[in-house]
Structure 1
Amino acid sequence: MSKRNVRAQAAWVIEQVIDKGQSLATCLPQAQSLLSNPKDKGLLAEICYGVMRQLPVLDSQVLNCLEKPLKGKKRIIHCLLLAGLYQLKHMRVKQHAAVTETVEATRQLKASGMSGLVNGIMRRFCRELDSLLAAQFEDDARTHLHSRWFIERVKAAYPHQWQQILHANNQHPPLWLRNNVRHQSREAYLAQLAEQGIDAVAGDSDNALRLLKATDVTKLPGFAEGGLSVQDQSAQWAAYLLDPQPGERILDACAAPGGKTCHLQERQPELQHLVALDIDDRRLARVQQNLDRLGQQAQLVAGDAADPQSWWDGVPFDRILLDAPCSATGVIRRNPDSKWLRRNDDIDTLAQLQQRILHANWKMLKPGGTLVYATCSILPEENVNQIKTFLQQVPDAMLLNINPDDSQEKPGWQLLPQVEGGDGFYYARLKKRQ
């Protein structure tokens, strides 16, 4: 079988996302599985993620070079041109290589008759590259590389910070790690990395550290033995805020892929019982993998957090971590395809689901117990408004302040995405009155 062309694979992935509504998480691994060279797999990922970050601009610049839009079976050639233009504008790929490989991709896409068109447009891109790079746009969608509905929501919620938020969303995400304090101190691990010439800095939470250059984490010292895990700095606050104590019964609701489950046990290895719940039993396999690598144990339960009666044994929990399903608008830089897959109507639907899950989980909490509500969203409808409504509806719920700004009128702690900092996250800590 002939060697797979990376650009052809990229065109297929891009078409799956923008025309068929598939996520990169679903279709990118399928395309990578057809490539044998790890460098080719990395190149494919870089092209696909990059096109998703830059999509409105790339799309308009490709369309400007076409006499008429490519439709039907020819749409994949439009996607191929998106991949080709991204290489020229944003990657260190030599122009002749980008042109040659992009034209060659038409053969593997069974569109050899389009090779002349692709060759001509790619060469035009090369000639006009300076003007393409310097292009300015008047509309927000192309200027800020987000959907218009999302820009309007962010403007309304953060009138003084919206541009910084959108800018952070368009950057490559930093690589955050969580040091396992059961193996070594963070200071000792940073020193170990420095000895191997790996640059890293400490984060805001006790065991967060950021690599200054992305690397294969499986090759880092101590990774295979459970000495560290990949977890964004903002997500690491969940275990600290829940503050599990010895002998307690804990629920980690919506637990997959298990980073917070494992962190809870690192923070408190003397728990009586830890239940990791997720609605998708296939995702629980990932939780088990993380537990195994860290030498930990938890009860994995496949069940609906909004319907405890279908799986709960009736024994109340001392503490519950509810990492609710959300729009993931705080982690767009890690999932740039979500900018084009998420819809405005999704937000109200998610908010209703979150309210159902929050009420259902509250019934499983002991009097005097603590519930931490968390999302990786930056939208008030999923965060501060949710908790404000819940506090008004539930008489035995009281707010436990996380910071001085935490109040009944503006409950919880909203973290916004930072270019070299953590992702966007929201936390609220609630106590059930006795």
Structure 2
Amino acid sequence: MTRSALIRRKAPKTGAAPFATLHLAPDSLGFALDCAAFAVGAVRAGMALPAALARVQASAPAAALARGAIQDIAYRALRRLGTADWLIAQLIRKAPPAHVRDVLACALALLADDAQTAAYTPFTVVDQAVNAIGARRECAFAKGLVNAVLRTFVREREAWLDKSQADPVAAWNYPVWWIDAVRRAWPDAWQRVLAAGNEPGPLTLRVNARRTRVADYLQLLDTNGIAATAIGSHAVRLAAPLPVDRLPGFAHGVVSVQDAGAQMAAEWLGVRDGMRVLDACAAPGGKTGHVLELADVALVALESDAARATRIEENLSRLGLKATVTVGDAGEPSAWYDGQPFDRILADVPCSASGIVRRHPDVRWLRRATDIAALAAEQRRILDALWPLLAPGGELLYVTCSIFPEEGEEQARWFERAHEDAVRLDAPAQLLPTVAGAAAACSAPLSTGTHTARPERSGADLDHDGFFYARFQKR
């Protein structure tokens, strides 16, 4: 489950179509800023960013021409939202209207980037932000304000960024409760964990073991002028992101996009030919496909959301693989279970998604502190329901893309106490998010607890999101 139970709140009402009064060239930065601001506003109202971006794209055909720029700005803005909101509060006496605020937040996020990572020149950002505000009749009165605020920041950029470090939300770009939770959980690594979540994730590929080897695919990439590095048994990290349609063999299932940490699931599940396997909470099917690439098994891919279940089938079709895709609640087997025990169960359960915030920066602003206890209860409900489905001697792999102990080690210890016939086996335990080149300079471990990652899967070059793994065998 790549984006585990991110937010299941009702989609917010965001008013009229974003482009009702907009008169900007769709290939201009002003157009992209305006669209990204609507997406950021929708996230503030409780909508997940992918859904917000999809709504913006659906509002006008012209948005398709600026899709990449809109997405990039929205992601940058959400990674810098704490800083941007702090700056707006400091530089403006009276809070501006919501859309003006969100255009400012997007522009300030771009201006806060240093010269090496900046996507646009400061002059261009200021000019186009003013154009975006001026193009809207209801916001045009704020053109002078936007111009003054952004020019002031550009002129005094270093001083304002230095001042922002005194405010934890502005300095780290997470809610206070999140910062406190990470600091409590990882007192020796909390700064690295938060910093890693603010870095864009790399494009990591999983090489299909049925089709080729990592070494051969690296050679193919090199032939096509694409720089990449092997970082695991089946994982390849590209030096720079590329559209998937430019990846050799992608359309034919030679490779898939999957984080290096997520690829450990199929590897630790230990499947062998002839086994019966359940992938619970399986959408969008990345781990399902990997399991089937490693062995000839009878696999049931379970997903509670019918729409998301179709994505499993689409992914398997591209890979040329087959599974029994079933729509059902993992916590209610009576509605879908046929009575035949499984040799392996992959329980990639709904979680806070706190380990994948570098790829989904909206998570930090959507989650609430109270969500963690509710998710932990849901995880226990699912585990209790799945355990009886496992054959004696079989193994269950518990997975979350979380960095919070309440969804990781605490759950593993609870499970051991709750099920006397469960024997905990070796597994990676808590994998904290790492950024290539940063791990070697940090004394904090890549994994924690008594169950550690295999030596060949650790090190400074293993760039991965945050995950927790625990493996149990039934006596």
Question: TM-score, normalization: structure 2?
Answer: 0.85
- Matching residue of 2:94: 68
Q: Deviations over 1:376-411 (max 9, x none)?
A: 011111111111111111111111123xxxxxxxxx
State the shift of 1:95 in Å: 3.0
- Matching residue of 2:474: 432
Q: 2:77 aligns with which of 28, 51, 59?
A: 51
State the shift of 1:89 in Å: 2.5
SS at match of 2:99: helix
> Is the Cα contact below 8 Å between 1:179 and 1:209 reproduced in 2?
yes
- Matching residue of 2:131: 104
- Matching residue of 1:125: 153
State the shift of 1:429 in Å: 0.8
- Matching residue of 1:42: 68
- The question of 1:415 aligning with 2:409 is answered no
Over 3 Å counting, the alpha-carbon distance change for 1:210 and 1:357 in structure 2 is same
- Matching residue of 1:362: 387
> Is the Cα contact below 8 Å between 1:35 and 1:41 reproduced in 2?
no
Q: 2:327 aligns with which of 302, 310, 313?
A: 302
Q: How far apart in 2 are the matches of 1:146 and 1:112?
A: 31
Q: How far apart in 1 are the matches of 2:85 and 2:70?
A: 19
Aligned residue type for 2:32:
V
Superposition map of 1:26-425 within 5 A: 26-33=51-58, 34=60, 36=62, 40-70=66-96, 74-90=97-113, 91-110=118-137, 111-203=139-231, 205-268=232-295, 270-271=296-297, 273-402=298-427, 413-420=429-436, 421-425=463-467
Over 3 Å counting, the alpha-carbon distance change for 1:53 and 1:35 in structure 2 is farther
SS at match of 2:236: strand
Runs of 4+ in structure 1 deviating by more than 6 angstroms, as ranges, are none
Q: How far apart in 2 are the matches of 1:32 and 1:122?
A: 27
Q: Deviations over 1:284-330 (max 9, x none)?
A: 11111111111111111111011111111122111110001001111
SS at match of 2:206: strand
Q: How far apart in 2 are the matches of 1:251 and 1:108?
A: 53
SS at match of 1:363: helix
Over 3 Å counting, the alpha-carbon distance change for 1:307 and 1:108 in structure 2 is farther
SS at match of 2:356: coil
Q: How far apart in 2 are the matches of 1:93 and 1:313?
A: 57
Q: Please, which runs of 5 or more residues in structure 1 have no aligned partner?
A: 403-411
> Is the Cα contact below 8 Å between 1:8 and 1:109 reproduced in 2?
no
Q: How far apart in 2 are the matches of 1:97 and 1:328?
A: 35
Aligned residue type for 1:131:
A
Aligned residue type for 1:82:
A
Q: How far apart in 2 are the matches of 1:155 and 1:55?
A: 20
SS at match of 2:471: strand
State the shift of 1:123 in Å: 2.6
CA RMSD of aligned residues (A): 1.7
SS at match of 2:263: helix
Over 3 Å counting, the alpha-carbon distance change for 1:217 and 1:116 in structure 2 is same
Aligned residue type for 1:81:
L
Q: How far apart in 1 are the matches of 2:423 and 2:122?
A: 61
Question: TM-score, normalization: structure 1?
Answer: 0.92
Task: Give the number of the structure with larger relative contact order, counting CA–CA contacts within 8 Å between residues 6 or more apart.
Answer: 2
State the shift of 1:87 in Å: 2.3
Over 3 Å counting, the alpha-carbon distance change for 1:316 and 1:180 in structure 2 is same
Q: How far apart in 1 are the matches of 2:158 and 2:177?
A: 31
> Is the Cα contact below 8 Å between 1:232 and 1:423 reproduced in 2?
yes
